[in-house]
Amino acid sequence: MAYEDLRGWIAALERAGELKTIHAEVDPILEITEIADRVSKAKFSKALGGTALLFENIKGHPGSQVLINQFGSARRMNLALEVDSLDQVADRIRAFMDVKSPHGFLDKVKMLPMLAEMGKFFPKTVSTGPCKEVIKRDNFSLRDFPVLQCWPKDAGRFITLPCVVSRDPKTGKRNVGMYRLQIYDERTTGMHWQRQKVGAEHYREALRTAAQAKVGASAPARASAAVDVMARTSGGSVLAEGSQPPGKMEVAVAIGTDPAITFSAIVPAPPDVEEYLIAGFLRQKPVELVKCETVDLEVPATAEIILEGHVHIDELRAEGPFGDHTGYYSLEDLYPVFHVSCITQRKNPIYSTTIVGKPPMEDGWMGKAVERIFLPLMRLTIPELVDINLPVEGVFHNLMLVSIRKSYPGQARKVMNAIWSLGQAMFTKCVIVVDEDVNVQDIGDVTLKVLNHIDPERDIQFILGPVDSLDHSSRLPNYGSKMGIDATRKWPSEGFNRPWPDEILMDEKTKALVDKKWKELGLE
């Protein structure tokens, strides 16, 4: 049964022994981060990832509660998605992908149960919900919420686990993404739309529309030239010399949603698949949505807090630094500004948050869940994929280990380029491709095989292209180099004519013999 809301999820965590309630007073400035960081790294717990934490005594915020580390272990990630193993979700995705076109009436009849099941995933709009218990159009402040300052050199307090809802100005399609929000004052925040994110594309589309209206449809080149939204401009204006026409883009932010909705905001879904639909698929029940009060957007009805407002397309402001998941501070840069016009919330809302920093941390477990669940979708484009591993130390975009079923010369390089063409996978700084008999989940095995198999000059290739905005080492912001390593066995058809040695393995007969004698040997 799907979790109805964040509170139902918290109750489930408590029943499972996965929640620790903290009654001692704690400070949202740095102190909660230090506590959560120690717990997530299991310094005080035998269980990797510790427990979820619910703080009930927040300095400066009497009566407030803060939930953190809710996804911070393999067990909690399974619990969040209500499965025993993430492979169960992948299997459900695979089952839908394996549906074949019906041939005749009987085939169509057989498809009806699956079509009915798919239909129950679509979101539905309801008249009202718990997120409307309190509506504030005036006399509100973002500083009323116990928003964390995570690290000492952060530019301020940041909302770190928001579901940011926007709509494509051209197509009307909704997007739900997770973009951090720096609190500037009582009613404004930064909107960390990195260039390659869907929210940023919505913003660029709004800018194109406004620019074309200003310069006329006969001047698309001039309008297009205005669209490098995150360009380094002076004075915080997107277009120089006053050429930017005024305009606003509607945005809503949901904080404290049920786990399936929160998780769906980070998944690298195909562009035409809405996150609310993904959440319905994950929770096996449709997401209930309500209309916002001041903007034409729909938000989860059971969320704890909703922020409604606009991003002005003629305004950029310095955002950051921020202690990021790379283990380093992402540097100050210009980003759009979110102006909050209305807050709706539950009575006594629970503030849901996370921290990022040096791994392992909570976001690492969320990333591993994405890896497992979306492997079947990657295989649609790269059918030779056997398995992938995004090591948590590689912070998602720095390293991908890939095993393939090799069938022809040069296939490993084809796979590298295919990965760099896939959505967020385009940021992967280093792709290492191995044969199918290498266990990419075993870093020791990968290290042994890769370093034995490669001739560096022959097997390493470099390309230039887009890189993650958080990559502080690239030659330019958002643009740099990536490396691929072909660590597969080399074939004569790839120009390798020497014998390839056999791997050292004991025969099965001897292994079975020793298995039988093991207790007798007294080596337990």
How confident is the chain (524 residues) per 10-residue block, as mean pLDDT? 92 97 97 95 69 97 97 95 91 70 53 58 93 95 97 97 94 93 98 89 88 60 45 41 61 97 88 88 93 97 98 92 93 95 97 94 91 88 94 89 96 96 90 96 95 95 90 89 96 93 94 94 86
The reply to whether 291 and 147 lie within a common domain is yes
How far is the C-alpha of 439 from the C-alpha of 451, rounded, in Å?
15
Q: Which one of 335, 352, 369 terminates a domain?
A: 352
Give the up-direction half-sphere exposure of residue 26: CA atoms within 13 A in the CB hemisphere.
25
324 catalytic? Reply is yes
Give the up-direction half-sphere exposure of residue 383: CA atoms within 13 A in the CB hemisphere.
2
Q: Please give the sequence-ordered ranges of beta strands (E in DSSP) within 128-195, or none if there are none.
A: 134-136, 158-159, 163-167, 174-177, 181-182, 188-190
The reply to whether 266 and 192 lie within a common domain is yes
The reply to whether 344 and 414 lie within a common domain is no
The reply to whether 392 and 342 lie within a common domain is no
Report if residue 95 sits inside a domain: no
Q: Which one of 310, 335, 352 terminates a domain?
A: 352
To which residue do tokens 């686990």 refer? 161
Q: What is the CATH number of the domain that holds 139?
A: 2.30.110.10
The reply to whether 272 and 329 lie within a common domain is yes
Report if residue 83 sits inside a domain: no
Of 78, 52, 80, 79, which is closest to residue 66 (Cα–Cα)?
52
Report if residue 389 sits inside a domain: yes
How far is the C-alpha of 75 from the C-alpha of 1, rounded, in Å?
18
Q: Which structure tokens are listed for 344?
A: 């709706």
Report if residue 318 sits inside a domain: yes
Secondary structure class of 471 (helix, strand, coil): coil
How far is the C-alpha of 130 from the C-alpha of 346, rounded, in Å?
6
Report if residue 141 sits inside a domain: yes
How far is the C-alpha of 96 from the C-alpha of 118, rounded, in Å?
9
The reply to whether 342 and 446 lie within a common domain is no
Range of the domain at 234: 119-352
How far is the C-alpha of 286 from the C-alpha of 101, rounded, in Å?
26
Report if residue 359 sits inside a domain: no
The reply to whether 251 and 140 lie within a common domain is yes
The reply to whether 272 and 401 lie within a common domain is no
The reply to whether 328 and 199 lie within a common domain is yes
The reply to whether 309 and 436 lie within a common domain is no
Q: What is the CATH number of the domain that holds 397?
A: 3.40.1670.10
pLDDT of residue 243: 38
> Out of 5, 37, 314, 324, which one is annotated catalytic?
324
Long-range contacts of 225-232 (CB under 8 A, 24+ apart): 229/195, 229/200, 229/203, 229/204, 229/316, 229/336, 230/193, 230/195, 230/200, 230/316, 230/333, 230/334, 230/335, 232/334
Report if residue 56 sits inside a domain: no
Q: In what order do the strands lie in the sheet with 385-389?
A: 385-389, 400-404, 430-435, 479-486, 460-466
The reply to whether 319 and 391 lie within a common domain is no
Max alpha carbon distance in the chain (Å)? Answer: 88
The reply to whether 247 and 165 lie within a common domain is yes
Which residues are CB-contacts of 315 (< 8 A; sequence separation ≥ 6)? Answer: 236, 237, 238, 336, 337
Report if residue 97 sits inside a domain: no
Contact between 429 and 464 (Cβ < 8 Å) = no
Count how many domains the chain has: 2
Three-state secondary structure string covering 1-40: CCCCCHHHHHHHHHHCCCEEEECCCECCECHHHHHHHHHH
